[in-house]
Amino acid sequence: MAGAGFESLERCLEKHLPLADLQEVKRILYGKETRKLDLPSRAFEAASKGDFELQGYAFQAVAEQQRRPRTVRMGLVQNRTPLPADPVVKQITALHRRIEAIVEVAAMCGVNIICFQEAWTMPFAFCTREKLPWTEFAESAEDGPTTKFCQELARKHDMVVVSPILERDTEHGDILWNTAMVISNSGAILGKTRKNHIPRVGDFNESTYYMEGNLGHPVFQTQFGRIAVNICYGRHHPLNWLMYSINGAEVIFNPSATIGALSESLWPIEARNAAIANHCFTCAINRVGEEFFPNEFTSGDGKKAHRDFGYFYGSSYVAAPDGSRTPGLSRNRDGLLVTELDLNLCRQVNDIWGFKMTGRYEMYARELAEAVQPSYSPKIVKE
């Protein structure tokens, strides 16, 4: 399995394919070509100085006679943890500073809505099954230091901020949740959502810390469009995407922390497929690099104990309802992906393909209601 030495699929194709072949491969792999954004030179200079990648692309819709273009710029941030896993306070402070620098560049690029990776204020330590010090990264969703930090960023840059954190719910017995806060561009808290599906696979021992979310599939009406947050493992569940779409989401973020050995071959497919199936934009975000922990842990697979989770392969991208998608950010660098969307494309594609019109939701609902009953028997026709 490729680690940090393999930069990205895009760079590999560009390096080894003749231009004509490259164009055809990209057409098949990525759909309609996205236009490169003309981002400010000072943004590239700041990104270079800050040692993170900056890319910008635009999706275009057909001009309409009765609706103006609904143009919005999204920012997707992927990053590694800048310090060793411990101590807690230094790690959080370093991550705040790192994100602050990247958000400054996003503001230079005119970003309206920015989203960070899953549990962005901490190492993804749930593999260890240890409680301390990792549960010390949890904080109040409403008035914790990270939410206050994001409120300041939102007010300063007139930018909606989606901030996935480990939440400490002091109102309900101090339990933990995997949560994403949505901060309005005014700096006010718009609301929060929680991870609906918790993995129990490999070293993803997250149910040792928190369980499935209880807030359903909320969609947040921002000044720039209706957004939802499908956290990490939820992308493997088509009905999870569907419910956000049914509730009116035009853009669904998928902040994640996933490793190459488990999911890299699935990564380019799932969010893109969800964009197609639900007539919306999807934004897939993954962290970068390797994280090492003080104590060894096992994976329940008979192999030797180890101190690392695996390689987080970045590769963040945006997919459109027409099936087109941006190139991904690199597998081995921090990065900011700026993408300009015309939200009119959602309805335009809906009119063409009609998946929502032709969906048999009443039939699915009836049969699913039957299937969850203890007395249910699968409807298998036999000779």
- Positions marked catalytic: 118, 195, 232
User: Are the C-beta atoms of 92 and 260 separated by less than 8 Å?
Assistant: no
Q: Return phi, psi of residue 226, to 5°.
A: -95, 125
CA distances from 83 to 88, 94, 310, 376 (A): 10, 7, 17, 52
Q: Where are the alpha helices (DSSP H) in the chain?
A: 9-16, 19-30, 41-49, 88-108, 145-157, 238-246, 260-263, 267-278, 344-353, 355-358, 361-371
Q: Which residues contact 109 (CB under 8 A, 6 or more apart)?
A: 37, 39, 40, 43, 54, 56, 73, 75, 336, 338
Look up residue 107 and give its two tokens. Answer: 């503001």
Look up residue 52 and give its two tokens. Answer: 């993170």
Q: What b/e string do you get for 255-285 counting C-beta neighbours within 10 Å, with b at 16 or more?
A: bbbbbbebbbeebbebbbbbbbbbbbbbbbb
